[in-house]
């Protein structure tokens, strides 16, 4: 029995096992590659899905930005129209004021006083005029300060004399003056009740 050689059998078994191991390794490598490929495709599809969602959100954001710009434009237009309406309302309210101002001025203007120019800036009014004497200018100021005799509301107040100068014209002594006062716009009775 000593002549039996087991080496070729062992060698064949080793070759078979090596082949099996190679086949198993190739099979495992293919299976691992398949798993990695599937995972890669899954992640690529997730990335594509999120990119598609991001693109959709970007498009929606652009549309909302356009709507916001339109809303802001409409707000500016609304503010402009409201400002115009307020200006028109202010003009409508102030329309009778000039007539009332001249009516009050004529009522307060004493005889012997003439008005040369009137300048108004807001509620402040400046009058340049001439009077026959300083006493007539004082009378004019007292008339502006005084309470209305007929119970009407006061429209002119706070007279302040800036300057008074005596000069001679055509042989007569004349006092040139500059007078400042404030125009008051009394509230209507219905506005007072509403407030």
The CATH number for 140's domain is: 3.30.70.2830
- Residue 29 forms part of a structural domain: no
Mention every residue, 6+ apart, whose C-beta is less than 8 A from residue 173.
Answer: 133, 166, 167
Distance CA 28, CA 122 (A): 95
pLDDT reading at 150 higher than 70: no
pLDDT of residue 84: 95
Helix, strand, or coil here: 11? helix
- Residue range of the domain that includes 120: 109-194
**Comparing C-alpha atoms, which of 159, 104, 99 is closest to residue 127?**
159
Which of 106, 130, 108 has its CA nearest to residue 117?
130
Average pLDDT, the chain: 84
Residue 154 lies in a domain: yes
124 Cβ partners below 8 Å, 6+ apart?
180, 181, 182, 183
Task: Determine contact, residues 146/154, Cβ cutoff 8 Å.
Answer: no
Number of structural domains the chain divides into: 1
pLDDT in tens, 99-127: 877 887 888 888 888 889 988 887 888 98
148 domain residue, yes or no = yes
pTM to 2 decimal places: 0.48
């Amino acid at each position: 029995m000593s002549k039996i050689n087991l080496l070729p059998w062992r060698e064949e078994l080793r070759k078979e096992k090596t082949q099996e191991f190679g086949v198993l390794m190739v099979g495992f490598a293919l299976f691992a590659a398949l798993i990695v490929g599937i995972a890669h495709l899954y992640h690529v599809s997730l990335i594509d899905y999120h990119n598609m969602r991001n693109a959709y959100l970007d498009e929606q954001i652009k549309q909302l930005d356009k709507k916001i710009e339109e809303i802001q434009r409409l707000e500016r237009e609304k503010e402009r129209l409201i400002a115009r309406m307020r200006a028109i309302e202010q003009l409508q309210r102030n329309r009778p004021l000039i007539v009332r101002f001249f009516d009050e001025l004529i009522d307060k203007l004493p005889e012997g006083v003439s008005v040369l120019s009137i300048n108004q800036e807001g509620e402040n009014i400046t009058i340049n005029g001439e009077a026959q004497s300083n006493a007539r200018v004082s009378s004019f100021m007292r008339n502006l300060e005084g309470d209305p005799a007929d119970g009407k509301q006061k429209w002119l107040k706070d007279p302040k004399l800036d300057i008074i100068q005596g000069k001679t014209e055509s042989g007569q002594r004349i006092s040139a003056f500059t007078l400042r006062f404030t125009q008051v716009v009394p509230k209507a009775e219905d506005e007072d009740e509403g407030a």
